[in-house]
Each structure stands twice: as C-alpha cells, then as structure tokens.
Amino acid sequence: MSTHPVAFVDEAFIRLHQHPGAYLFAAVLVDADDLSDVIDAARQAAGPHEEFHASDLYRRGHIQPIEDMLDTTEAHAGWTLMIAQAPLGEHQEAARQAALTQLLHQLNDQKVRDVVLDTRASPREQLDTQLQGRKINPSDLPDVTTYRRLVRSQQINARMRLQHVDDRNQPALWLPDVTAWAFQRALVFDEPQWWSRVASVATIHDAATGRELSLTDDRTAPPTGERGPQIQSPSAQNSLSSTSFYTLNGGTTNRAQGPGYLYNALLTQAMDARSASSAVALQASIAALSANVDRLTTAISATTQDYALPDRSPAGDADVRSIAAEGGAEGLGTHREPAEPELG
C-alpha cells in the first residue's frame, strides 16, 4: 500500500521600493517512507550549522551549505512546487492567503495528507501559546482560517491536515527554505543559477489562476497521482544555468532600479494568464445568459399559446341585416311619444 506524500512548506516575499513585489510559497513533497532519510540528508547538508536559513547564511558568506541543501532538495524531492502571487499588492497578508489557497488546491490534487508549514510565531509566542493552553499561535491563525474555509466549502479533502512547526525542530523544512530563497534570488537579482539546481524537479504556478509559469524556458510537468515529476515537459530540456559570474552583493541587477528581466517575464505571464482566464469566464457568462434568454423566450411562447383569446370573427352581412330588422320592429312597437301637457 503506497503512502501519501508529505509537503514541507516555507515562504519568501519581495517587498522593495519601486518594485511590484511578490509573495512566494515553496512546497517540497517527499515520500513519508523516506522522511527519515530526508532529515538526515538535510542535517548533513547544513554541516556544522544547527539551524538553517539560507538568507542568513548568504549574508554571512556561507555558500557551501546553500549549494548542498539545494542539491539535497533536487535529490530527495518527489516534486517541488512554487506558488507566486505577483504583484504583491497593498496588503501582504491578503497576498499570503491567496498564495496559500492556491497551494492547498495544488497539494490536494496530489493527494497530500500532511502539510507542514513553517510557523511565523517567535519562540516567545509559541511559549505563551502553550502556557495559555491554546493549540494555535496567533500568528498562524490566518493560515488556519484559510485552511478551514477550504475544508468546509469542500474545496480540499477534509483528510488533509495543516500543522505549523518551527523549522528549528524540523530539518525537512530547510528544503523549502532554500528553494524559496533561490526563487526569490532569481526574481530580485536576475540570478538563476541557484534556482537552476532544483528546476528539474520544480514547477511554478500563478496564485490567482493556477496556471503554470516559467523562468525562461525551464519547466517540468506536474506529477500524476502521488509521485512526480516523472516526465519533463519539452521546455524543460533547456537549462537555466548561466555562465555569468555572480558576486555576493547584487548579482547582475541593481534592485534599486526596480524589477529585473526574470521578474518582469514572470509577471507578464501571470497577467496574461489572468486575462485569458477572465476572457474564458466572460465567454461562459455570455453563453449562459444566451441560453437563459432562449429558455425564457420558449417559455413565453408556450404560455401565450396556452392562454390564447377565443375566436371573435366579424358577423356576416345576412346576420347584420337580421339584427337590424329585429331592432327596427322592436322599436316600432315600443316607442312612445311624450304626452301633451293637460290644459285646465
């Protein structure tokens, strides 16, 4: 009997001056039977670091653990899913929940039963939650609300479980951490070499429509059933690897100048997908309206026939003369002249 995959999820976001921004979710799916091996591999990739956050390690110049963690993700991920909500919009929390909604839909399609999401609660908040006897950290409540709404509306399977876990206690969460960071790095600095290490086992989807997006020409087909990706799409044959030299302080794009090429290309795809989706929805609405008009016209026509007025054809000439004669005879017999006044 096959087991359902487990999804480990972390996030990243882009919120910069003169930049449309984005909210990103990375989900790394692994077989439940392989979970212990994945945890051991993640710890080995982290090396001497007891905690792993790619952004912190990068700022401190520790590149090797990042590369090793990306290679570990590529080796152990059954599938890596990126959800991109771009642009970010005015309300970051709304962008997060929109991306989470699409993520849970995608994971539900893959028959995922356990979704392990890195908590946003600080250690102090987690402790306060425990001391107060509560089950949910206040910082995680918006995610749980979104999850419950989808379950109650039967958009996702009620057997799917969402749990928030501190990545300090779950090394498997280090895989989506480095994946989200690599994708963020590509969008902010036009540095695709990090993302290219996991691109062969990853797909990118627009949060609003669920449509598949791509960075340049590198994509893989989503898995069928509970495993994948098994077959690459034709566009996945080209690598994202670049021969450019990247430094630790900015890559090829100065982010003060606004979004770079990769971000703009991704945003264009997302907006095109939403326009196409809106056009399809509009056509469906017009078709439904036309069908309703046809049904209403048919109903009105049937009602008119059922309640037709009786035939009132004009009388013939003979009937007219007969009626006139009868009226004349009756008039001669009944007409009285007014009496003359009596004289005294």
| Residue 340 clears pLDDT 60, i.e. is over it | no
- Determine, yes or no, domain membership for 85: yes
| Residue 221 clears pLDDT 70, i.e. is over it | no
Residue 211 φ/ψ region, left for φ over 0, alpha for ψ in the -120 to 50 degree band, beta for the rest: beta
| Residue 335 clears pLDDT 70, i.e. is over it | no
**Looking at residues 292-307, what average pLDDT do you find?**
75
Structural domain range at position 116 = 5-243+250-281
Which pLDDT belongs to residue 297?
74
Two tokens, residue 1: 């009997």
Two tokens, residue 158: 């009620």
Residue 8 pairs in a beta bridge with 28, 116
| Residue 78 clears pLDDT 80, i.e. is over it | yes
Q: What is the DSSP string of 84-116?
A: EE-S--S-HHHHHHHHHHHHHHHHHHTT--EEE
Q: What percent of the chain lies above the pLDDT cut of 70?
A: 72
| Residue 319 clears pLDDT 60, i.e. is over it | no
- Determine, yes or no, domain membership for 39: yes
- Determine, yes or no, domain membership for 37: yes
Confidence of residue 189 (pLDDT cuts 50, 70, 90): very high
- Determine, yes or no, domain membership for 321: no
Residue 222 CB-density burial (10 A; 0-12 exposed, 13-18 middle, 19+ buried): middle
pLDDT tens digits for range 106-158: 999 999 999 999 999 999 999 999 999 999 999 999 999 999 999 999 999 99
- Determine, yes or no, domain membership for 92: yes
Residue 80 pairs in a beta bridge with 28, 202
H or E element, residue 82: strand 79-85
The chain-wide mean pLDDT, for the chain, equals 83
- Determine, yes or no, domain membership for 293: no
Confidence of residue 311 (pLDDT cuts 50, 70, 90): low
CA 142, 143, 144, 146 dihedral sign is: positive
- Determine, yes or no, domain membership for 286: no
| Residue 13 clears pLDDT 90, i.e. is over it | yes
CATH code of residue 48 = 3.30.420.10
Which pLDDT belongs to residue 2?
62
Q: How many domains does the chain have?
A: 1
- Determine, yes or no, domain membership for 10: yes
